[in-house]
Amino acid sequence: MSLDDKPNVVIVVAAVRDLSESKIQEQMKLLMVEQLCLKVGENILQMPSALAEDDEQLETTAERALFDLTRYRAEKMVFLSQGAILPCVGDQIVTFFLAVNATQDGAKATNLYPNIHRIPIIHIGPWISKRKVMVAPTVWAGMYLRIAHLTTNPMHGTIQ
């Protein structure tokens, strides 16, 4: 059985630039959504994500997750990483994509994720510590992958 036959969760790492901020380091923001997770009874902070539908390309899943949850669209999706969520325990695979040149479509997201956050990347740790939310571990993994991608792909260095 290949990875394509496994249930796949797609996570979108979307960094956006806010040109209304005067300091360049304040312009680079990470896009996240917050929702009440009924299974754990807590608010969860996470990156846009979705389960891949049968026969759906993972890049298409990433585009769908980004738009449906945030009303942002990306110029392109760049594969970052893929692996088992719980190796040797479950069969779910997680795939991370970087949303390049993500811009909001204008309409507000009207779904289960009413709280869309654009957090300056340099302040994300203190911002999260002040919140009363549980943080999905994929947030930290996505941030790491974004930084690692910047070091190897300087053309994506201007967080868009």
19-56: pLDDT as tens digits: 666 665 556 788 899 988 888 898 899 999 999 998 89
55-67: pLDDT as tens digits: 899 999 999 999 9
DSSP letter, residue 90: -
**pLDDT at position 149 over 90:** no
Question: Which domains are assigned to the chain?
Answer: 3-156 (3.90.79.10)
User: In angstroms, rounded to a whole number, what is the distance separating the alpha carbons of residues 46 and 106?
Assistant: 22
Is 69 within 8 Å of 109 (Cβ atoms)?
yes
DSSP letter, residue 107: S
The residue with greater pLDDT, 97 or 107, is 97
Reported pTM: 0.81
10-23: pLDDT as tens digits: 888 887 766 666 66
